[in-house]
A and B are shown apart, each in its own frame.
Chain A
Amino acid sequence: SYELTQPPSVSVSPGQTASITCSGDKLGDRYASWYQQKAGQSPVLVIYQDTKRPSGIPERFSGSNSGNTATLTISGTQAMDEADYYCQAWDSSTYVVFGGGTKLTVL
């Protein structure tokens, strides 16, 4: 089965750039999406199809995907960005696959 691996936690200072990685075999040949989940809330789509940003998502959120790694980048990170972030891809055998999630701490 296809697996996606994320670091359990990432820390960043306010105003700095946070990068959250998602690794999977030849992930760059697939599309990656990213979801933000704040404590006690439901997930929110922040990036889809590697680089696209839904309406209403701030421009500081961006994505890339190449080789075996997709990356969610948050530029000028704000306290409100503190959340769990999940990457997601699709596999023909197991269909929807999520990474284990990364807890972003802004301190």
Chain B
Amino acid sequence: EVQLVESGGGLVQPGGSLRLSCAASGFTISGYSMNWFRQAPGKGLEWISYIGISSSTIYYADSVKGRFTISRDNARNSLYLQMNSLRDEDTAVYYCARGRDDYGHRYYFDYWGQGTLVTVSS
């Protein structure tokens, strides 16, 4: 059974840092691209970052570019999101998801984790 389990969320002050992890089971992430999303309270879904199979291709949404860093450890079957310079507006549930097909118009997300809550507040 494919599972994605996020961890590392919590309460952090504005300007602080946090590192999220996404542990995969039931498949090996080395064969898939991976993504991070977030959902602010009562709001819709927002894609924030993509990492290709070899980590050579990485994309970020403008809202997090320069502050967040996505990475993967295929040996640990895990995905990570380092979040720096956090702002109030980064408060959200953060999800990881597996990507399918070539990155482009055919791309979609077939499995999502349960999410981890990040609260940025003083």
Contact = CB atoms under 8 A, between A and B. Distances in A.
Interface of A: 30-31, 33, 35, 37, 41-45, 48-49, 54, 86, 88-90, 94-101
Given A31-B106, A42-B115, A43-B95, A95 B44 contact: no
Interface of B: 35, 44-47, 50, 59, 61-62, 95, 97, 100-101, 103-115
Given A30-B105, A49-B108, A89-B105, A96 B115 contact: no
30 contacts: A30-B105, A31-B105, A31-B106, A33-B108, A33-B109, A41-B114, A42-B113, A43-B45, A43-B95, A43-B97, A43-B109, A45-B108, A45-B109, A45-B111, A48-B108, A49-B106, A49-B108, A88-B45, A88-B109, A89-B105, A90-B104, A90-B106, A96-B35, A96-B50, A96-B107, A98-B45, A98-B46, A98-B47, A100-B44, A101-B45
